[in-house]
């Protein structure tokens, strides 16, 4: 038997099947009353027993058929309902995805998150701990004292002494060079050239005159 595939048809076929099952119950009761009356009237006991057995067998088969039919109708009705529910669930999921995409495009989730109530845990206000309240690993460091470095403190100490170095090597010290350059003529931008080395017995040559030009070299 072909079962219907829509809910409306299933709901129309279930009540007639239940009515047939109820009618079979009345038929069984009628068979039982007939057999009881025939047995009490003094008819053939064996014939009444065989007839009652046959009627009961047919009646039970009829009842089983109608129970099976009602079970099939109800099972088919539930399966059709499940299919309809799956269709509705699929449609709802599709609409939910479209709604979520629209919300993400418009920024609605972030706005709802900002407007949603947030739990707030009350706590004591924070304060700055004093020195005796801090642990030993968090004690504040003392500021380092700033001292001015004296660059002239080591001028006369060790190999860096200019007076000792000049006395050993015979070269003029930087201080003497700076003093000689400071005593130079104010009109010239540079100090005079150092004196030439002295020979053992020859006198030093006279300095050249500013107005005298030396003769040209021979060709």
State pLDDT tens for residues 51-60.
888 888 888 8
pLDDT at residue 132 in the model: 80
Other CB atoms within a 10 A radius of the CB of residue 24 amount to: 19
- Reported as half-sphere exposure (CB side, CA atoms, 13 A), residue 54 has a value of 6
The b-or-e profile of 57-78 (16+ CB within 10 A means b, else e) is eebeebbeebeebbeebeebbe
Q: What's the token pair of residue 143?
A: 């500021």
What dihedral angle (degrees, nearest 10) is formed by the CA atoms of 98, 103, 104, 106? 130
Q: CB–CB of 109/103 below 8 Å? A: yes
Q: In whole angstroms, give the CA distance from residue 54 to residue 60.
A: 10
Q: What is the DSSP string of 170-192?
A: -PPPHHHHHHHHHTS-TTSSSPP
Alpha helix (H) ranges present in the chain? 7-40, 45-106, 108-115, 162-169, 174-182
> Which has the closest alpha carbon to 56: 82, 85, 35?
35
State pLDDT tens for residues 129-141.
777 888 888 777 7
Regions of the chain short of the pLDDT cut 50:
176-190
Q: In whole angstroms, give the CA distance from residue 88 to residue 82.
A: 10
pLDDT at residue 7 in the model: 76
Q: What's the token pair of residue 132?
A: 């005796």
pLDDT at residue 87 in the model: 93
Q: CB–CB of 48/35 below 8 Å? A: yes
| The length of the chain, given as a count of residues | 219
pLDDT at residue 148 in the model: 87
pTM, two decimals, is: 0.40
């Amino acid at each position: 038997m072909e079962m219907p595939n829509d809910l409306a048809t299933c709901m129309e076929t279930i009540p007639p099947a239940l009515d047939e099952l109820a009618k079979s119950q009345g038929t069984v009761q009628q068979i039982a009353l007939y057999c009881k009356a025939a047995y009490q009237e003094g008819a053939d006991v064996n014939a009444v027993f065989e007839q009652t057995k046959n009627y009961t067998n047919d009646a039970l088969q009829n009842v089983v058929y109608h129970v099976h039919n009602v079970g099939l109708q109800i099972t088919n009705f539930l399966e059709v309902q499940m299919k309809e529910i799956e269709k509705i669930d699929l449609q709802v999921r599709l609409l939910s995805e479209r709604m979520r995409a629209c919300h993400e495009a418009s920024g609605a989730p972030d706005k709802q998150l900002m407007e949603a109530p947030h739990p707030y845990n009350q706590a004591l206000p924070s304060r700055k701990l004093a020195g005796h309240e801090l642990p030993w690993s968090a004690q504040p460091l003392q500021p380092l004292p700033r001292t001015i470095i004296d660059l002239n403190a080591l001028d006369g100490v060790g190999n860096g002494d200019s007076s000792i170095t000049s006395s050993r090597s015979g070269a003029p010290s930087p201080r003497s060079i700076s003093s000689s350059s400071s005593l130079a003529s104010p009109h010239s931008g540079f100090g005079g050239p150092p004196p030439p080395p002295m020979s053992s017995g020859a006198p030093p040559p006279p300095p050249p005159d500013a107005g005298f030009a030396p003769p040209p070299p021979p060709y």
